[in-house]
Amino acid sequence: MKASLVILAALGTLAFASTIPARSQDKEGAKDHPLLKRYQDSVLFEHSEQAYTEYKLALGKALNPSVPENEGRTIEKEETIEGRLTRLSYLAPAGRSALEVFRNYEKELAGKGFETLFKGEKEELGFRFGARYTGLYSQIFEYNDSDNRYIAARLSRPEGNVTVAIYVSAYDMGLSGGLKPEKGQPVIQVDIIEDAPLDQRMVVVSAEKMASSIETTGSIALYGIFFDFDKAEVKPESLPTLEQMAKLLRDFPALKLHIVGHTDNVGDLEYNQKLSLTRAESVTKELIVRYAIAPDRLRAAGVGPLSPVASNRTEEGRAKNRRVELVEW
């Protein structure tokens, strides 16, 4: 009798999974964050990581920017934080409610010692709260806010704080990126921001080291040329490396170089190839205009993600693949 009751209790309660569902259902290479389990039998359909970025944490209801008293604002209150960002998008099993999924996440956070910073449910979230997730994955979060819930919570740790923002809604309408969820099926967005020291990547490779590498291998990869995400303009903090590149070309007047742009594999191949070429052209222009290097000594090229030096499955690997390379010709 007692054994039967235990079995019935287990069947009646859907808690967090202690094991991960079949990986064939998840996006290739996607994985759960070690600090937070997924809801049982959910599918992880989108996963991204950034080693260091800015994140706007919602700490109040969404506002209608067209209402005069809101003065164009879209959120009542938010906090801008910086650190390592992991974004996880899940599709929960059909037949479960958004409320049940959300309560499980609440319980999980409380059990781990997280302090709630803000929580809202349905009308408490204001005007189109799901619009904060526009473009994250088709329209699966954007237009589904009739049965939605959100919590922002923080865990204080000696090694650095962890902030979590969880949004759960019941799918009703909108483009779903081929997932084909059922009406009312819960979709979950989990954003995890970890305090992390800013990577000091401003290491300047000297002209002498560039020359040595080119002499022995015919090329050198440089990580001191910086661009904003999805942009091709060379950022000012690139100047120290550009100066050493110019010095190299002045010290070796017979040297001719391909300036080759490289990207990671995030996004469309053709687009990344074009972006890498445009970035290489920007570097070439800087050398010609700013440092008076003869144009006939430089050729810009872009190969996108086609020549990686590390795996694109991790942010660390993708960071190594985003580079500018000097190749002798």
Q: What is the domain range of residue 308?
A: 207-328
pLDDT of residue 137: 87
Does 178 share its domain with 217? no
* pTM, to two decimals: 0.58
Does 228 share its domain with 85? no
Instruction: Check: CB of residue 78 under 8 Å from CB of residue 62.
Output: no
pLDDT tens string 191-215: 999 987 555 455 689 999 999 999 9
Q: Is residue 202 part of a domain?
A: no
Distance CA 170, CA 188 (A): 9
DSSP 183: T
Q: Is residue 200 part of a domain?
A: no
Does 279 share its domain with 311? yes
Does 164 share its domain with 293? no
Does 224 share its domain with 160? no
* Number of separate domains in the chain: 2
Does 288 share its domain with 310? yes
- Strands of the sheet containing 257-262, edge to edge, are 219-222, 323-328, 257-262, 298-304
Distance CA 69, CA 57 (A): 22
Does 188 share its domain with 218? no
pLDDT tens string 177-197: 888 899 999 999 999 999 875
Instruction: Check: CB of residue 168 under 8 Å from CB of residue 105.
Output: yes
Q: Which residues of the chain have pLDDT under 70?
A: 1-24, 197-203
pLDDT of residue 203: 64
Handedness of CA 234, 238, 239, 241 (dihedral sign): negative
